[in-house]
Structure 1
Amino acid sequence: MKVVVVGCTHAGTAAIKNILKLHPEAEVTVFERNDNVSFLSCGIALYVGGVVKDPAGLFYSNPEELASLGATVKMEHDVTEIDTKAKKVFATDIKTGAAVEADYDKLVMTTGSWPIIPPIEGIQLENILLCKNYNQANEIIAKAKDAQKVVIVGGGYIGIELVEAFAESGKDVTLIDGLDRILNKYLDHEFTDVLEADLQNRGIKLALNQSVTAFKGNADGKVVSVHTPEGDYEADMVIMCVGFRPNTELLKGKVEMLPTGAIVTDEYLRTSDPAIFSAGDSTAVHYNPNGGSAYIPLATNAVRQGMLVGHNLVENKMKYRGTQGTSGLYLFGYNIGSTGVTVHSAPMFGLEVRSVIVEDNYRPEFMPTTEKVLMKLVYEVGTGRIVGGQLISKYDITQSANTLSLAIQNKMTIEDLAVVDFFFQPHFDRPWNYLNILAQAALDQEAELNK
Structure 2
Amino acid sequence: MKIVIVGCTHAGTEATKNLARLYPDAEISVYERNDNVSFLSCGIALNVGGIVKQAEDLFYSSPEELSDLGVNMFMLHEVLEINAEKKELHIHNMVTNERFTDTYDKLVMTTGSWPIIPDLRNIELNNILLCKNYSHALTIIEKAKYAKNITVIGAGYIGIELVEAFEHLGKSVTLIDNMDRILFRYLDSEVTDTVEVSLSERGICLALGQTVTGFEGEDGAVTTVVTNNNQYTADLVVLCIGFRPNTYLLNGQVDMLPNGAFLVDEYMRTSNPDIFAAGDSCAVLYNPTGVKAYIPLATNAVRMGSLVARNLLKPTVKYLGTQGTSAIKIYDHHIASTGLTETAALALGMEVKSVVIEENYRPEFMPSYEKATLKVVYEENGKRIIGAQVFSKADLTQSINTLSVCIQNRMTMDELAYVDFFFQPHYNKPWNILNLPGLEVEQALRRM
- Common topology (TM > 0.5): yes
Residue 250 (structure 1) aligns with: 249
Partner residue in 2 for 1:176: 176
Q: Is it true that 1:336 corresponds to 2:335 in the alignment?
A: yes
Matched, 1:226 2:248: no
Aligned counterparts of 1:81 and 1:414: Cα–Cα separation in 2? 50
Identify if the C-alpha distance between structure 1 residues 15 and 446 changes in structure 2 by more than 3 Å, giving closer, same or farther.
farther
Query: Which structure 1 segments of 5+ residues have no match?
Result: none
What secondary structure, in the 3-state scheme, does the structure 2 residue paired with 1:18 have? helix
Calculate the aligned-residue CA RMSD, in Å. 0.9
Question: Structure 1 348/93 Cα, relative in aligned 2: closer, same or farther at 3 Å?
Answer: farther
What is residue 306 of structure 1 aligned with on the other side? 305
Q: State the match for 2:356 in structure 1.
A: 357
Alignment of 1:71-220 (within 5 A): 71-218=71-218, 220=219
Q: Counterpart of 2:328 in 1: which secondary structure?
A: strand
- What is residue 259 of structure 1 aligned with on the other side? 258
Aligned residue in 1 for 2:39: 39
Question: Which residue in the other structure is 1:319 paired with?
Answer: 318
Q: CA deviation at 1:440?
A: 1.2
Structure 2: runs of 5+ lacking an equivalent: none
* Cα deviations by residue, 1:249-288 (Å, 9 ceiling, x for unpaired): 0011111111111100110000000010000000001101
Residue identity opposite 2:112 in structure 1: G
Counterpart residue identity of residue 31, structure 2: F
Which position in structure 2 is the counterpart of 1:412? 411
State the one-letter code of the partner of 1:352: E
The answer as to 2:401 corresponding to 1:397 is no
Alignment correspondent of 2:69: 69
Give, in whole Å, the separation in 2 of the partners of 1:224 and 1:401: 42
- Segment of structure 1 superposing worse, 394-403 or 51-60: 51-60
Q: Deviations over 1:331-366 (max 9, x none)?
A: 011000100000111145553211010100000001
1:44 maps to a residue whose letter is I
Mean CA deviation greater in 437-446 or 34-43: 437-446
2:16 equivalent in structure 1:
16
Using the TM superposition, give the Cα deviation of residue 447 of structure 1 relative to its aligned residue in structure 2, in angstroms. 4.2
Q: In the TM superposition, what whole-angstrom CA distance separates every residue of 1:214-233 from its partner, at most 9, and x where no partner exists?
A: 10001x11100101121110
Mapped to 2, the partners of 1:444 and 1:114 lie a distance apart of: 48
* Conservation of the 8 A alpha-carbon contact between 1:5 and 1:31: yes
Going from structure 1 to structure 2, the CA distance change for 1:46 and 1:335 (only over 3 Å counts) comes to same
Q: What are the within-5 Å matches in structure 2 for residues 265-284 of structure 1?
A: 265-284=264-283
Contact kept? 2:149, 2:172, Cα under 8 Å = yes
Conserved? CA contact 2:55–2:138, under 8 Å: no
Distance in 2 between residues matched to 1:444 and 1:134, nearest whole Å: 52
Query: Match for 1:18: what amino acid?
Result: N
In structure 1, distance between residues paired with 2:145 and 2:174: 17
> How far apart are 1:90 and its partner, in Å?
1.1
Q: What residue in structure 2 maps to residue 438 of structure 1?
A: 437
Amino acid at match of 1:117: I
Q: Quote the Cα distance in structure 2 between the aligned partners of 1:249 and 1:444.
A: 53
Q: Do 2:345 and 2:352's aligned partners in 1 also have CA atoms closer than 8 Å?
A: yes
Q: How many residues align?
A: 448
Deviation at 1:197, TM superposition (A): 1.0
Secondary structure of 1:266's counterpart equals coil
**In the aligned structure 1, how far is the partner of 2:444 from the partner of 2:43?**
40
Alpha-carbon distance in 2 for matches of 1:428, 1:303? 31
User: Within 2, Cα distance between the matches of 1:277 and 1:445?
Assistant: 48
Query: How many angstroms does 1:105 deviate by?
Result: 0.7
Structure 1: distance between partners of 2:445 and 2:397: 27
Paired with 1:3 and 1:133, the residues of 2 have a C-alpha distance of 26
Residue 365 of structure 1: SS of its match in structure 2? coil
- Measure, in 1, the Cα distance between the counterparts of 2:440 and 2:336: 19
Post-superposition shift, 1:55?
2.5
CA distance in structure 2 between the aligned counterparts of 1:443 and 1:157, rounded to whole angstroms: 34
CA distance in 2, matches of 1:132, 1:424: 42
Q: Specify whether residues 274 and 349 from structure 1 end up closer, same or farther in structure 2 by C-alpha distance, changes over 3 A only.
A: farther
Task: Verify the 8 A CA contact 1:290 1:350 in the aligned structure 2.
Answer: no
AA paired with 1:334?
H
- Taking the aligned partners of 1:253 and 1:444, their CA distance within structure 2 comes to 54
Q: What is the CA–CA distance in structure 2 between the aligned matches of 1:447 and 1:288, rounded to whole Å?
A: 30
Matches of 1:438 and 1:333, distance apart in 2: 25
Q: Report deviation, 1:383.
A: 1.0
Change (3 A) 1:186 1:66: same
- Find the aligned partners of 1:100 and 1:242 in 2 and give their Cα distance: 36
SS of equivalent residue, structure 2 residue 212:
coil
* CA distance in 2: counterparts of 1:399 and 1:431, whole angstroms: 18
Task: Determine if contact 2:129/2:237 at 8 Å carries over to the other structure.
Answer: yes
Deviation track 1:198-251 (CA, whole Å, cap 9, x = no partner) reads: 111111000000000010001x11100101121110001000000000000001
Secondary structure of the residue aligned to 2:342 is: coil
Distance 1:184 1:373 in 2: 20
Output the CA distance in 1 between the equivalents of 2:418 and 2:13.
41
Distance 1:257 1:163 in 2: 34
Tell me how far 1:373 sits from its aligned partner: 0.3
Which residue type is aligned with residue 230 of structure 1?
N
TM-score, length-scaled by structure 2: 0.99
Matched with 2:25 is: 25
Per-residue displacement from partner, 1:305-327 (whole Å, max 9, x unpaired)? 00000100011100000000000
- Shift in Å, 1:100: 2.4
DSSP 3-state at the match of 2:253: coil
Distance 1:55 1:439 in 2: 44
TM normalised by structure 1 equals 0.98
Pairwise CA distance, 1:442: 2.6
One-letter amino acid of the counterpart of residue 443, structure 1:
E
Decide whether the 8 Å contact of 1:6 with 1:110 is kept in 2: yes
**Stretch of structure 1 that moved more, 370-379 or 433-442:** 433-442
